[in-house]
Amino acid sequence: MRLSEYVEGIGTGKKLRIRCRSCRKFLSDSRRHWKEKVPHKEYPLKRAGSLMSASTKYVLREFYCPSCRILLDSEVVEPGEPFLLDELKS
Amino acid sequence: MTEILKGVDKVTFEVLRHRLWQITDEMAIMLKRVSGSPSTAQVHDFMVALYTKDGEILSGGFGVPWHITSASAACKHVAKKFASSIHEGDTFLLNDPYLAAIHQSDVYLVTPIHHMGKLVAWCANFVHVTDIGAIDPGGFSPRATSVFHEGMRFKGVKIVEAGELRTDLFDSIIGMSREPGMVALDLRSQIASNNVAKTRVADLIEKHGWKTIRAVMKGLIDFTEKGFRARLSELPDATWRTVQHIDILGKGYRIPLAMTKKGTDLLFDFEGASPQSPRGLNCTYWGALGGVMGAVFSLLCFGFPWNEGALRPVTVVAPEGSIINCRYPSPVSISTVAGTISAANGAITTISKMLGSSDKYSHEMLAVGNGCSCVIRQAGINQEGAYYVSGLWDWLSGSSGARSYADGVDTSGGQAGIMTMMQATNIESTESTYPLLYMFRGQSADSGGPGKFRGGVSGECCFTVYDAPEKRIDLIISGWGVEAAASTGLSGGYPGSSARFAMYKASEVEPLFKKAKITTDLVGVKAKVEELPPQWAGELSEGKYMYLRWAGGGGYGDPLERDVELVRADVEEELISKDAATGIYGVVFRDGIPSVDKRATLAKRKILRSRRHGEKIL
Amino acid sequence: MGYSIGVDVGGTFTDCVVISPDGSIATGKSLSIPDDFSEGVINSIKVAIESLGEKPHKILPQTDYFCHGTTVAENALLTRTGAKAGLITTRGFEDTILIMRGKGRIAGLGEEAITHPVMTDKPIPLIPRKLIEGVLERVDYKGRVLTPISKREVSTAIDRLKKQKVNAIAICLLWSFKNSSHERFVKETIHQMDPSIFVTTSSDLVPVEGEYERTATTAINAYAGPVFSSYLGALTRKLRKNGFKKQLLVMQAYGGVLPASVAVERSVGVIESGPVAGVIASQFLASKLGYQNVIAADMGGTTFKVGLIRSGTFQYANEPTIAQYSMLTPRLDIVSIGAGGGSIASIEPLTGTLRVGPQSAGAKPGPICYGVGGEEPTVTDADLLLGYLNPDYFLGGRMKLQVQKTMRIFEEKLCKALKLDPLQAAEAIYRIANSQMADLIRKVTIERGEDPREFVLFSYGGASPVHSCSYAPELQIAKTIVPATSSVYGAFGVVTSDVIHEYLLSDHLTVPAEPGRVSRIFSDLEASARDDLQADGFGSKESTISRLMEIRYRRQVHQLPVPVPQKHRLNSRDLAQVYADFEQLYETTYGPGTAFREAGMEIVHFRVRAVGFARRPPFVKTIGKANGGKASASGRRKVFSEKDEAFVMTPIYDLKGFKPGNKLVGPAVIETPVTTVVVRSDQSAEMDGYRNIILTGEEN
């Protein structure tokens, strides 16, 4: 099932596995959230464009597919702030 | 399904559904006609709605949607408070944000509708009155530190009693405003608007009978609830999260939102929101509820009448004493465009994430647009020598967030990208009414959040005083989103640009204007620039140029997935810069007219992708 | 006096009315030809003239008055097949037409769009950003030049546009309506550099405050201009070949006609002029019949349109839009909703309730009963099942309507869900469509501060008189008129329309204004008006000139036009009266206590209207012998009666058998090849001396 543009779930409950919709690479299983398994990086907001604030109070956090390197998700957060984790209820 | 229409002929139901929308439409027309003020007639800063006798939403009409629920609270409060002393021909005025209204400037007029001497329904509206007698002119008060600085506050008074305007009260109210004449017009338009609704609903009952109308009212609400729940049942059970940041006065406020859908219920939980602010960015619970419901109506209730049925599956939890549910007597005058918009932004994002988990509904997703306010109020002596208070609405040219199948709409009007009915005024009408002169107003390239589908671009403008007898006016700014990025993206899409307020002081060079050449952009202008905080009250005087850029729309999806041809077209249409095209989208051009170097683009995108690996670079 | 010819080019048909010198009327209809609309015009003229037993090359040389309305410009706009147009504007404000004040996303759209914002978009730009050039120049709100325009700047901008091969250029600079010198300079420079480019300036076209709307109007004019101009050229050549010698006249959306030589510069003015012709025809008829207040209701295949005539004059739209662009050219106030004959009835899946419109089956695939592919129940299908339409006499019998198929599809798509039989479902559709029409009329009248009970309803357009018998009583409208010429009503409207020139000058003057200045402004405007009327061949007896000032309270947005006395030298007492009239008009229009007097008044526009009277046909009234005589029915069939809520045997009348003065009492159905008039059992109908059918309610 589709979870977002680039992430989908296969199976349900404990058997749920998350994979990349772009390359079908499995990202995680039900024990850990996929965001905690894939590479992520925090950038200054300016990465999103020259008209972005130069403030260092906030960052643009990006999550990538470890295989095809597509941008799975991004967040505007304070540096080091916990990930914004969307969770399916089984 | 038929049980929701028990006792109602289906044809009559359809006839009346249409008719109720028409009644709110007429209410809006009446507001615009009678008031004739730019804020109401041109900018559309108002709301009209009908309520059941218990104050439940019956028909939310044209206008700012966050007020539909608040005016419901107003009806409920008046119904309870005045109970047996509510009579035919009465109209109540209420603007206490702790009871119902979102901030004092948005004054509610609430009128009972009777049939055969019995209360059967309510109608209500608000307009943003010109001036509410607060510490700063215009109603948004950055200097206020308590609700007592924010102007007159009514917990419900009979402004019209048994059909007679209470002139003693009316005169006292307008007397507390810096703009008594304009406020008198505002109030008169509100009374006229409710009178229309009252007459029309009474006619309807007369024609179809109270029993039928009552059944239709119930049927309409059930219809929306059923439809909304049916839609929810098609979506997975899950929790979706986002966070908004309001950044002012050197402080950041977090407004996290976790939205949980279970079965056919939706819970919006703002747990973890920052403590309330000493300034009026806070909203009361009504602001949080309204912000959420604005998004619920716009994104989930299309095709259904906007009424109480949309509210039934929804619960909004906001921690007391937080910026999203402040304690009395915290200031709240900026709440409509701060706490409330951030609640709406959060709800837009979590709802869109939910829609994005369904193949059937993913095309209904919307990233946040025009995510933070850039309210500017002005006051002073105009070119005719008279004192005035008014607003500047350029930022309501807006920007919308991207969709899952298309770019966001550029400069698309309204707040949060969903309030498409709000709009900016013409520069010529501003310059002929107020002592101002614009250097430029245009779309702002690179303001749309990059993505597979880009956020809509916002705009920017710059103006100075002109023909002002005192060579100065007061400016009051109540915005945010300068340090953070309020218009968040979806599915990896980047946020739309931050807002920017700046004062260019040309005193050190030739006044920009006097040199036969007037500046039409600020590139290469040798002036002293002062970046203004987004909450600011000061003066605009000769030799100073106020610059404003409002926030762009959030993007959708991976920018490196964006169709190369769309990137090329964006460069050609000056919606993105060549630098952004290459640096963010990985599209490389040959020299001259934007013609894409396909091979170099492939290579560039490959390099950009290869740099995507886990590592903290800050 | 010679012949008068009126032609109305519609999307599907081109209609023609030929009025002979003796006042007799011949009509013709032919298919419109979108590839070459002028061909369709010539065809329709042939049909009409041949019905007189004549040939076009015989009649056209004797034709004094040839007037036509056309969709060619709006067709170019809606299909985006107009010119490659550029825009020259003030630097720093290039994006004005793209920003659209942030309102272009929903401007002119209805409830459905407003409550589903994600799915709304701005229109595709008529002029892309790369064809918009900003030039350095600036004029202030009083018309003072702050930054002069430079030849070099302008030439460079034009060069850039020429390189991109534009064939039209719109010019709109800030405050040009206060000082047009910069716009004129740009225009002259273009003419010098390339006289083949179609140029239009905002200060010529719409010298009015509001840069977004002014730019949009000017841009549409440039965009549609070249197409419209070549169409007019082709048509003129074809008419000349057939011997027509006079000036070709073109219908304008503000309700008058203009000579082709003037109209060619103002293509924006002809856009959506089609429905206007019906309102003009109604105004003309109303004046003959002595009615002051008329609701003109036109029900076509996809929409239901309503225009108002108050005190004998038509009304102008407040904030008109074309394809979501806001316009400044005056346009008749005509409001429409998607409730036409082709409007589709469907079941709302959740409640199981019935919805009608706004989706439409249009002409193709059309209603089910046309048998040309339509598979969705429509309003026309319901009208058929209710017995209102005669399956064997549609378009005079040229199209057989398919009752069985209609019943079958109603059964499948509606009946199960509604638990109704097909006839009951048809009745429900009829009721819902009628209530939507009533709602629109209520909204249109009330929005303008009017009471529908004080109006007469003119009901025209194929399906309209089937429904007006039901919604008129709901609105307590006492009298409905179905015009005799309703099948070619547009063409009839066009030929009865006056030549109207509008002149406007924007100059904000604070009240009280200096009378000398006001007098001079009007004298100048009237000098142009007199020249133009003379050029059109109107003497002072065949024309009038009138003056208006538009005034507003400062800081309020509504401005209202107030008549100004026709004196060469106005004095301060004259003007004081005008201001008093304005104050009174403001209160009657917007209600007592709505004026913000403290801010003072200002004059914003000076308007002069020059009207050359149409050489109208000697409209002959023929009173039948049997004054008050009963009409005789041609047959009977079962027709649904709203009053009885049942099908009842109902007499059917053929309009041909009707004579002026004939009367009948409902229930009845009156048939013509193109229109069907339904008379309810609580109504009676009478034919007047002009062969119009007049429906009235039961006397109490």
Summarised one tens digit per residue, pLDDT across range B133-156 is: 999 998 899 999 999 999 999 999
Rounded CA-CA distance C176/C89 in Å is 10
Lowest mean pLDDT among B47-51, B295-299, C112-116: C112-116
Q: Are residues C314 and C165 in the same domain?
A: no
| Residue C380 forms part of a structural domain | no
Rounded CA-CA distance B260/B238 in Å is 6
pLDDT for residue C588 is more than 50: yes
Rounded CA-CA distance C372/C355 in Å is 23
Chain B residues closer than 8 Å to A45 by CB = 484-485, 495, 498
The arithmetic mean of pLDDT across residues C371-375, rounded, is 89
CB atoms within 10 A of CB B72: 30
Element housing C73 (H / E): helix C72-78
pLDDT at position B127: 93
pLDDT for residue C66 is more than 80: yes
- Give me the domain span that covers residue C22: 3-76+230-270
Q: Are residues C100 and C238 in the same domain?
A: no
pLDDT tens digits along A45-81: 999 999 999 989 999 999 999 999 999 999 999 998 9
B401, B408 Cβ separation under 8 angstroms: yes
pLDDT tens digits along B141-199: 999 999 999 999 999 999 999 999 999 999 999 999 999 988 998 998 999 899 989 98
- Chain A and chain B share a number of CB contacts under 8 A equal to 165
Rounded CA-CA distance C658/C78 in Å is 42
pLDDT tens digits along C266-317: 999 999 888 899 999 999 889 889 999 999 999 877 788 999 998 888 878 8
CA dihedral over B382, B386, B387, B388, signed as positive or negative? negative
Rounded CA-CA distance B509/B489 in Å is 41
Contact A48 B449 (CB under 8 A): yes
Mean pLDDT of the residues in chain C: 89
Strand ordering across the sheet containing A17-20:
A7-10, A17-20, A26-29
Q: Give the residue from C696, C140, C532, C343 showing the smallest Cα distance to B431.
A: C140
Tokens 């013509």, residue? C672
B562, B585 Cβ separation under 8 angstroms: yes
Element housing C289 (H / E): helix C274-289
Q: In terms of CA atoms, which chain B residue is nearest residue A60?
A: B494
pLDDT at position C455: 95
Rounded CA-CA distance C520/C568 in Å is 9
pLDDT at position C447: 64
| Residue C403 forms part of a structural domain | no
Rounded CA-CA distance B401/B228 in Å is 23
Using CA atoms, how far residue B259 sits from B35, B237, B339, in Å, is 40, 10, 17
Among partner residues A56, A70, A77, which is closest to B243 by beta-carbon distance?
Answer: A77
* Surface of B (492-521) touching C: CB under 8 A: 513, 516-518, 520-521
CB atoms within 10 A of CB B405: 12
Q: Are residues C439 and C333 in the same domain?
A: yes
End-to-end, the C-alpha distance of chain C in Å comes to 48
Q: Are residues C283 and C247 in the same domain?
A: no
Contact B579 A50 (CB under 8 A): yes
| Residue C561 forms part of a structural domain | yes
pLDDT at position B516: 43
pLDDT at position C449: 66
Q: Which residues 6+ apart lie within 8 Å of C321 measured at CB? A: C107, C108, C327
Per DSSP, the residues of B475-509 read: EEEEE--SSS--S--BTTPPPPPPPEEEEEEGGGS
pLDDT tens digits along B321-355: 999 999 999 999 999 889 999 999 999 999 999 99
Pairing of strands B238-248, B251-262: antiparallel
Element housing C76 (H / E): helix C72-78
Q: Are residues C446 and C551 in the same domain?
A: no
Tokens 């400069």, residue? B411
pLDDT for residue A89 is more than 60: yes
| Residue C33 forms part of a structural domain | yes
| Residue C303 forms part of a structural domain | yes
Among partner residues C146, C353, C432, which is closest to B518 by beta-carbon distance?
Answer: C146
Q: Which of A20, A34, A52, A60 to mutate to test the interface with B (most CBs of B within 10 A)?
A: A52
B457, B550 Cβ separation under 8 angstroms: no
Q: Is C338 helix (H, G, I), strand (E, B) or coil?
A: coil
pLDDT at position B498: 95
Rounded CA-CA distance A61/C266 in Å is 55
Mean pLDDT of the residues in chain B: 91
C218, C202 Cβ separation under 8 angstroms: yes
Q: Are residues C264 and C249 in the same domain?
A: yes
Rounded CA-CA distance C243/A8 in Å is 74
| Residue C404 forms part of a structural domain | no
- Answer with the residue of higher pLDDT: C446 or A29: A29
pLDDT for residue B617 is more than 50: no
**In the structure, what pLDDT confidence band is assigned to residue B131 with cuts at 50, 70 and 90?**
very high
Contact B418 C117 (CB under 8 A): yes
Name the maximum alpha-carbon separation found in chain C: 81
B38, B390 Cβ separation under 8 angstroms: yes
- Answer with the residue of higher pLDDT: C460 or B520: C460
CA B601 to chain centre: 40
Q: Is B420 helix (H, G, I), strand (E, B) or coil?
A: coil
Q: Does B22 touch chain C (CB under 8 A)?
A: yes
- Which ipTM value was assigned to this complex? 0.98
Q: Which residues 6+ apart lie within 8 Å of B108 measured at CB? A: B67, B70, B71, B74, B93, B94, B95, B100, B101, B124, B125, B126
C583, C562 Cβ separation under 8 angstroms: no
pLDDT for residue C528 is more than 50: yes
Q: Are residues C491 and C513 in the same domain?
A: no
Using CA atoms, how far residue B228 sits from B235, B300, C110, in Å, is 11, 7, 22
Structural domains counted in chain C: 5
Name the maximum alpha-carbon separation found in chain B: 79
CATH number, domain of C552, equals 3.30.1490
Which tokens in the block code for residue C565?
């006395």
Q: Does A55 touch chain B (CB under 8 A)?
A: yes
Q: Which chains touch B (3 or more CB pairs under 8 A)?
A: A, C
Tokens 């009666």, residue? C641
Q: Are residues C106 and C215 in the same domain?
A: yes
Element housing C639 (H / E): strand C635-641
| Residue C439 forms part of a structural domain | yes
Contact B236 A52 (CB under 8 A): no
CATH number, domain of C289, equals 3.30.420.40
| Residue C240 forms part of a structural domain | yes
pLDDT at position C77: 86
pLDDT tens digits along B252-270: 899 999 999 999 999 999 9
Contact C350 B227 (CB under 8 A): yes
